[in-house]
């Protein structure tokens, strides 16, 4: 095991973001935490309770109107629809701020050298949230807020955000598309939601589309061919991960055919790249994954590799 503790940030109030019949449901996080307990993996982790992110941190990547509108639109007695996929329930703003707070506290712990590896077991997910738009189950962009906080440190000049998910992290691209300090490399199912920024490229924006039905071979080859040269060019001081597990063959929302071992493989690759470029500094935050067994299996594999 690593000689640096793996910090896991979470909070029970992330379960309060809830509306009946939605795939992004509280049981996702409960299943993950239950699995870590049952497997004994939680004994290997330093479990920490997150705090809500400050508005000043959210405002590093989001417009004040989005932040204020989300707060103003939440009701104590009703579900509010933001779009066909994205809703506010009582407690949603607190859950989203706790998710971002987990990531910002994790980054600051890494910068203090308290730890070198962090996982944020939080919800709602974040990588679809654009500068001024909540969408795709996402309210605030958790990984983008973490990157902005990291870049305020004099010791962090360049950050890499590595996003594996069945959906393109359009929000992360939107926020950093003109900021060459942030490499945004993402794998996703082609011709699929969100249909925004999927073909966008800048030298620091590296899309890695996969055809529907792609499995282990296609995924691993595409990651090696696109991510590794990009990381070599970028030379990051910190790696952040948007960890989505909805590319799993058992997931109900996507059309990729990945196995649990593919998540073990990509986590090992990320860990090795972090060892090489940035003193092993990695922060990962939970994005998609909607089959509870596949999600729990995959997160367990992900954390086992981060611990190694």
pLDDT confidence bin for 82, thresholds 50/70/90: very high
Q: Is residue 63 part of a domain?
A: yes
DSSP string for residues in 189-207:
ESS-TT-SSTT--BTTEEE
**What's the distance, CA 162 to chain centroid?**
9
70 vs 65: CA distance, rounded Å: 8
CATH number of the domain where residue 268 is located: 3.40.800.20
Q: Is residue 82 part of a domain?
A: yes
In this structure, how many other beta carbons lie within 10 angstroms of the beta carbon of residue 13? 15
Type and span of the H or E element at 176: helix 170-176
Question: What's the pLDDT at 4?
Answer: 81
Q: Is residue 53 part of a domain?
A: yes
Q: What is the pLDDT of residues 150-192, one digit of tens each?
A: 999 999 999 999 999 999 999 999 999 999 999 999 999 999 9
Residues of the domain holding 14: 6-307
Q: What is the pLDDT of residues 235-260, one digit of tens each?
A: 999 999 999 999 999 999 999 999 99
Could you identify the residue written with the tokens 């509010």?
Answer: 80
Catalytic residues: 128
Tokens of 179: 């900021």
What does residue 176 show for φ and ψ, rounded to 5 degrees? Answer: -115, 15
Task: Count structural domains, the chain.
Answer: 1
Q: Is residue 79 part of a domain?
A: yes
Enumerate the β-bridge partners of residue 284. 119, 241
What average pLDDT does this structure show over 189-197?
96
Question: What's the pLDDT at 43?
Answer: 97
Question: What's the pLDDT at 308?
Answer: 87
Model confidence at 228: pLDDT above 50:
yes
Model confidence at 1: pLDDT above 60:
no
Q: Is residue 301 part of a domain?
A: yes
What does residue 38 show for φ and ψ, rounded to 5 degrees? Answer: -65, -35
Q: What proportion of the chain, given as a percentage, has pLDDT over 90? A: 98
DSSP string for residues in 251-301:
-SS----B-HHHHHHHHHHHHHHHHHHSTT-EEEEE----SHHHHHHHHHH
Give which of 240, 280, 265 is closest to 151, Cα–Cα.
240
Q: Is residue 243 part of a domain?
A: yes
Contacts of 85 (CB under 8 A, 6+ apart): 135, 136, 137
What average pLDDT does this structure show over 119-136?
98
What does residue 198 show for φ and ψ, rounded to 5 degrees? Answer: -70, -25
What average pLDDT does this structure show over 183-209?
96
What average pLDDT does this structure show over 46-66?
98
pLDDT confidence bin for 263, thresholds 50/70/90: very high
Burial class of residue 85 (count of CB atoms within 10 Å of its CB; 0-12, 13-18, 19+): middle
Q: Is residue 190 part of a domain?
A: yes
Q: What is the pLDDT of residues 21-31, one digit of tens each?
A: 999 999 999 99
Question: What's the pLDDT at 2?
Answer: 45
What does residue 240 show for φ and ψ, rounded to 5 degrees? Answer: -110, 145
Chain mean pLDDT for the chain: 97
Q: Is residue 1 part of a domain?
A: no
What average pLDDT does this structure show over 277-296?
98
The answer to whether 128 and 137 are in contact (CB under 8 A) is yes
- Its pTM stands at 0.97
């Amino acid at each position: 095991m690593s000689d640096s503790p793996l910090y896991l940030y979470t909070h029970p109030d992330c379960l309060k973001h809830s509306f009946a019949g939605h795939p992004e449901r509280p049981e996702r996080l409960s299943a993950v935490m239950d699995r870590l307990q049952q497997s004994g993996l939680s004994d290997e982790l330093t479990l920490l309770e997150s705090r809500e992110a400050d508005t000043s941190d959210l405002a590093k990547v989001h417009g004040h109107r989005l932040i204020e509108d989300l707060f103003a639109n939440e009701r104590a007695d009703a579900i509010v629809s933001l779009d066909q996929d994205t809703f506010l329930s009582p407690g949603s703003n607190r859950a989203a701020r706790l998710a971002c707070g987990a990531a910002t506290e994790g980054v600051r712990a890494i910068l203090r050298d308290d730890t070198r590896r962090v996982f944020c077991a939080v919800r709602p997910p974040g990588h679809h949230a654009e500068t001024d738009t909540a969408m795709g189950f996402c309210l605030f962009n958790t990984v983008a807020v973490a990157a902005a906080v990291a870049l305020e440190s004099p010791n962090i000049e360049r950050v890499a955000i590595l996003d594996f998910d069945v959906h393109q992290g359009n929000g992360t691209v939107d926020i950093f598309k003109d900021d060459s300090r942030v490499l945004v490399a993402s794998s996703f199912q082609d011709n699929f939601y969100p249909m925004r920024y999927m073909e966008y490229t800048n030298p620091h924006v590296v899309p890695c589309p996969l055809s529907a039905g792609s499995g282990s071979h296609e995924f691993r080859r595409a990651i090696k061919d696109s991510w590794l040269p990009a990381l070599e060019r970028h030379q990051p001081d910190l790696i952040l991960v948007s960890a989505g597990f909805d590319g799993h063959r058992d997931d109900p929302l996507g059309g990729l055919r990945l196995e649990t071992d593919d998540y073990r493989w990509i986590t090992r690759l990320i860990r090795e790249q972090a060892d090489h470029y940035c003193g092993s500094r990695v922060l990962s935050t939970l994005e998609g994954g909607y089959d509870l067994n596949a999600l729990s299996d995959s997160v367990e594999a992900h954390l086992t590799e981060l611990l190694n």
